[in-house]
Structure 1
């Protein structure tokens, strides 16, 4: 996809990867960039910052009716949606002890929000025979987020859903991409480090933390090449191969890393 004159919607757009995507889409010549976020004021600041193509919207991605209303309003205002970026996500930093409420929130934001986006955006895309869905799934969706069981489980589900969408709708003109970065310098990582979450410490120890702008660069390249898996950290592909070829050895390496960090 070339972003010139395209209409894009970004959820979780008020900061981190979402705001970097908004800036980059505007720079690439998008005709409209809808920045949607639970934090309406922050979304408005990002939209204002990218100029006249920016438009802000308050949105709880875990509410299917709000997602549908956002899609309807965007289509009414701009005539179409060329690219829907389901980017919002949450981490917990917890294991099986995470309360049911935290598991439910992770499920609704990290998985069901993608379902709601596809339900709302696909009908018009299918009528036009074109459109692109970009789901931010995380490298945790193809590997493991050590120290965060809800995040790992839901991101794996997100990648699985993205692949299902790609297989089901590609022949009808719909492109689907799963954006799977590893460590990114975002408030989510900073908050995890501040409270000592093991998952955040593993990412920091890897020494491969990218800026949101670097992730946006990789996203533009992946969209242009119509790739399903967009991996801003190319080493994730090697990790995934090693994990598939030798799951026991891969797990042994992770356990060793955990022991070192806990010591």
Structure 2
């Protein structure tokens, strides 16, 4: 996967880590990073630490479980950094990357993102335990 020259969104889920992927993408030549974290201030602080000429970094508080937050991320990224090339979801069980070039180009950008992001979120969240079924004795 080519990172050099790409605009990357890194959306962190509860229990995930955005620091490591942000540093990797920046070192690999990304031309812009948008960091999103559900806890207020976390993405903003990391963005301030990583921001540099050639790879501006924007941080926002966001919960990508919400389609409205995904829409806001798309708008914010396109306003400040340009069109999104890669969307990384960082969760407690690792990372998944959605390459937007692989998605159909004739669809609405938000509609394009919703399915692959929901799949990525599902892959990264620990599986739900089956409820314990009690049997009558």
Q: TM-score, normalised by structure 1?
A: 0.36
Sort the Cα spacing of 1:12 and 1:139 in 2 relative to 1 into closer, same or farther, 3 A. Answer: closer
Sort the Cα spacing of 1:138 and 1:122 in 2 relative to 1 into closer, same or farther, 3 A. Answer: closer
Root-mean-square deviation (CA), in Å? 3.6
Higher helix share: 1
What is the 5 A alignment of 1:236-255? none
| Residue 43 of structure 1: aligned partner | 43
Return 5+ residue gaps in structure 2 as ranges.
Answer: 107-112, 131-137
| Cα distance in 2 between the residues matched to 1:61 and 1:33 | 16
TM-aligned CA deviation for residue 82 of structure 1: 0.5
| Cα distance in 2 between the residues matched to 1:139 and 1:15 | 9
| Residue 27 of structure 1: aligned partner | 27
TM-aligned CA deviation for residue 36 of structure 1: 0.3
- The structure with more radius of gyration: 1
SS in 2 for 1:75: helix
| Residue 69 of structure 1: aligned partner | 72
Residues matched between the structures, number: 112
| Cα distance in 1 between the residues matched to 2:60 and 2:125 | 28
Q: Which runs of 4+ in 1 moved over 6 A?
A: none
| Residue 239 of structure 1: aligned partner | none
Q: TM-score, normalised by structure 2?
A: 0.63
SS in 1 for 2:4: coil
